[in-house]
């Protein structure tokens, strides 16, 4: 899946020798002529064995005066072979990484540096390049098209599920008893049902995430995000970065820039927000982006605000939940004022995790916004429709038929569903206890770092046995095993060579005003690539890098 290259060049010869994977080989940025070898290993490809060999400990320095720190690491316990290794001159590799870092700096492919104070508060303070893969990840054309075709069906499904208040409440009723965060969301949803609050204008900016299973070659869904689907801005920039690199170096690495699909995530999301603002029909109103107190991914959000301004002349304001509570006012007609400004659309880039609600003030803000006539992205019902428990319920036999009529569309959705089980299923739990490595235990949480893997699955299940109510806070999911490939991962100016796996996210935009569907589109894509030995995959959480795809 990934595209990776390894080579070694002797300082006494201009020829380069293809070599295999070497753990922890360091190419120092400050001293580019020095290479330290800390370990040696062998690995098997599909045809033969390669062994590590390097006749010199020197690499030629970059002619522009800067070297690139390149480290090679590998999980020695992995059973996946290193595939697709090509011969690439180390000077060329250095130049590519250097050019990529320059491109990121000049084009805004940046995030805040957590080691720098105020980097998540003040724009321009402590910026650094976003973590990225140097070359795009290979992905088969057929499964790419399948993922794109599914998005509009999922958009419609989420909208219909959101309208079935009883389904949401009943499905999450047990979870509510053991998960305080989900309980608070359900309380707000219940209040909206009681007052018969209707969302005439409904906006969803979604992302459906997939992996390719190596054994079956099936495209399997990991999750469907309905709140704060991040990286439409930076994800587009990575696609542009890869196209740019391949335009310059494609002949040297055997790749064609035309096989990197164009990415419309940024304009697709901006256009949907602009159209929702237009449907609200008040030219003086603004779009409010709800943000975390410290947001080091602010530039991804600022890209969206900038394009929204350029394409639709719409002004955005940024407010935390606490600021909405202190500055917000609800007029008798449902109009929401924040800081004296009328809000047409509320775009949540916060509010998806318990940590976003440290006090009652934040919950008051969420309720205030939900009671307003502003277009919510997402509304509380859209938010709940994206929970893990709802995902598991929709995978049950005959449940999709409750919301969709088209049998072909239902079949397409079911084809991408991975195995999903409630902890009420004794057969699934028994198998997970016996073979925990084949399952993932998921709580009702968004963002990276929450899932449970390996022996921890067994340990957690044992703790949850004996009819514990806490079982309802989790679902079991089939673990997907994508192929691992050698990939260059660039983070903090350091290029790591490692076995990596990738996850494809397809963005979708959906806008409806009463009975009229105004937007239902597949709106670009996101690839996140991580070291194969890592279970979690969040970029913001520090587990993965941004990537794009190379169609094969």
Q: Which of 366, 376, 442, 458 is catalytic?
A: 442
- Is 470 marked within a binding site? no
The reply, when asked if residue 147 is annotated as ligand binding, is no
Known binding residue 493? Answer is no
- Binding site annotation covers 349? yes
- Was 230 annotated as part of a binding site? yes
Q: What are phi and psi of 60, to 5 degrees?
A: -70, 135
- At 112 the three-state DSSP class reads strand
Q: What's the angle, vertex CA 147, arms to CA 345 and CA 145, rounded to 5?
A: 120
Q: Is 297 marked within a binding site? A: yes
Q: Is 518 annotated as a binding residue?
A: no
Catalytic-labelled residue, pool 71, 389, 458, 528: 528
State yes or no: 478 annotated in a binding site: yes
Is 396 among the annotated ligand-binding positions? no
Residue 108 annotated among the catalytic residues of the structure: no
Q: Is 455 annotated as a binding residue?
A: no
Could you say which of 376, 388, 389, 458 is catalytic?
388
Is 446 known to be catalytic?
yes
Nearest Cα to 269, choosing from 377, 419, 179? 377
Strand 286-290 to 341-348 pairing: parallel
12 is in an annotated binding site: no
The verdict on whether 407 is a catalytic residue reads no
Catalytic residue among 155, 225, 243, 263: 225
174 is annotated as contributing to ligand binding: no
Among 419, 447, 493, 538, which one carries the catalytic annotation? 447
- According to the annotation, is 77 in a ligand binding site? no
Q: Annotation-wise, does 227 bind a ligand?
A: yes
453 annotated ligand binder? yes
Is 68 in contact with 100 (CB distance < 8 Å)? Answer: no
* Spacing of C-alpha 527 from chain mean position: 7
Q: How many degrees, rounded to 5, is the angle at CA 429 between CA 427 and CA 435?
A: 100
Kind of pairing, strands 316-319 and 286-290? parallel
Residue 536 marked ligand-binding? yes
Interatomic CA distance for residues 455 and 6, integer angstroms: 34
Task: For residue 210, say whether it is annotated as part of any ligand binding site.
Answer: no
**Which SS3 state, helix, strand or coil, does residue 83 take?**
coil
418 is in an annotated binding site: no
Which of the residues 207, 366, 376, 458 is marked catalytic? Answer: 207
Catalytic residue among 138, 230, 502, 532: 230
Could you tell me the CA-to-CA distances from 149 to 152, 232, 511 in Å, in that order? 7, 19, 18
The catalytic position among 370, 393, 409, 446 is: 446
Burial of 222 (0-12, 13-18, 19+ CB in 10 A): buried
Residue 446 known to bind ligand: yes
The rounded distance, in Å, linking the Cα atoms of 104 and 132 is: 10
Task: Supply the DSSP string of 262-308, one letter for each residue.
Answer: ---HHHHHHHHHHHHHHHHT-TT-EEEEE--SS-TTHHHHHHHHHHH
Is 409 annotated to bind ligand?
no
169 labelled ligand-binding: no
The verdict on whether 230 is a catalytic residue reads yes
Integer Cα distance of 321 and 350 in angstroms: 8
447 assigned to active site: yes
Q: Parallel, antiparallel, or unpaired for β 341-348 and 336-338?
A: antiparallel
**Catalytic-role residue among 156, 223, 279, 362:** 223
342 is catalytic: no
Q: Output the CA torsion sign for 392, 393, 396, 398.
A: negative
Has 259 been annotated as catalytic?
Answer: no
Binding positions for substrate: 207, 227-230, 295-297, 301, 349-352, 528, 539-540
Binding positions for Mg(2+): 223, 225, 446
Binding positions: 207, 223, 225, 227-230, 295-297, 301, 349-352, 388, 442-451, 453, 477-480, 503, 528, 530, 536, 539-540
Active site residues: 207, 223, 225, 230, 388, 442, 446-447, 528
Binding positions for ATP: 223, 388, 442-451, 453, 477-480, 503, 530, 536
């Amino acid at each position: 899946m990934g595209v990776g290259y390894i080579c070694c060049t002797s300082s006494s010869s201009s020829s380069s020798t293809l070599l295999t994977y070497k753990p922890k080989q360091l190419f120092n940025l400050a001293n580019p002529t020095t290479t330290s070898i800390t370990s040696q290993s062998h690995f098997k490809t599909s045809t033969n064995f390669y062994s590590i060999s390097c006749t010199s400990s020197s690499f030629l320095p970059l002619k522009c005066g800067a070297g690139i720190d390149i480290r090679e690491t590998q999980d020695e316990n992995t059973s996946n072979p290193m595939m697709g290794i090509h011969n690439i001159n180390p000077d060329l590799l250095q130049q590519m990484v250097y050019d990529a870092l320059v491109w990121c700096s000049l084009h805004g492919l940046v995030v805040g540096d957590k080691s720098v104070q105020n980097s998540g508060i003040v724009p321009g303070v402590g910026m650094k390049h976003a973590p990225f893969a140097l070359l795009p990840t290979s992905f088969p054309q057929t499964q790419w098209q399948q993922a794109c075709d599914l998005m509009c069906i999922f958009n419609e499904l989420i909208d219909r599920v959101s309208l079935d208040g009883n389904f949401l409440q009943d499905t999450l009723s047990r979870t509510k008893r053991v998960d305080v965060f989900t309980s608070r969301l359900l309380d707000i949803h219940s209040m909206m049902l009681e007052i018969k609050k209707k969302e005439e204008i409904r906006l969803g900016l979604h992302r459906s995430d997939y992996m390719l299973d190596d054994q079956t070659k099936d495209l399997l869904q990991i999750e469907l995000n309905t709140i704060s689907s991040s990286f439409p801005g930076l994800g587009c920039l990575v696609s542009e970065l890869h196209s740019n690199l391949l335009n310059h170096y494609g002949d040297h690495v055997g790749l064609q820039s035309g096989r990197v699909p164009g990415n419309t995530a940024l304009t697709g999301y901006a256009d949907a927000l602009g159209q929702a603002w237009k449907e609200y029909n008040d030219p003086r109103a603004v779009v409010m982006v709800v943000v975390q107190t410290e947001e080091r991914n602010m530039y991804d959000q600022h890209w969206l605000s900038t394009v929204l301004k350029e394409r639709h002349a719409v002004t955005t304001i940024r407010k935390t939940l606490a600021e909405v509570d202190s500055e917000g006012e609800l007029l008798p007609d449902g109009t929401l004022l924040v800081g004296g400004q009328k809000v047409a659309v509320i775009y949540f880039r916060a509010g998806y995790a318990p940590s976003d609600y440290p006090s009652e003030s934040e919950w008051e803000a969420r309720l205030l916004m939900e009671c307003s006539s502003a277009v919510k992205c997402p509304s509380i019902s859209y938010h709940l429709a994206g929970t893990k428990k709802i995902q598991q319920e929709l995978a049950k036999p005959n449940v999709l038929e409750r919301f969709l009529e088209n049998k072909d569309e239902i079949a397409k959705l079911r084809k991408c569903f991975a195995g999903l089980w409630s902890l009420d299923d004794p057969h699934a739990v028994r198998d997970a206890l016996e073979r925990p490595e084949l399952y993932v235990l998921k709580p009702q949480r968004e963002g990276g770092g929450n899932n449970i893997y390996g022996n921890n699955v067994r340990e957690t299940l044992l703790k949850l046995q004996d009819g514990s109510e806490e079982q309802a806070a989790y679902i079991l999911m089939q673990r997907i095993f994508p192929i691992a490939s050698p990939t260059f991962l660039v983070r903090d100016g350091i290029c790591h060579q490692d076995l990596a796996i990738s996850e494809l996210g397809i963005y979708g935009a959906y806008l409806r005003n009463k009975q009229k569907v105004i937007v239902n589109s597949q709106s670009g894509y996101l690839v996140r690539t991580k070291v194969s030995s890592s279970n979690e995959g969040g970029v913001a959480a520090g587990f993965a890098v941004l990537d794009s795809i190379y169609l094969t």
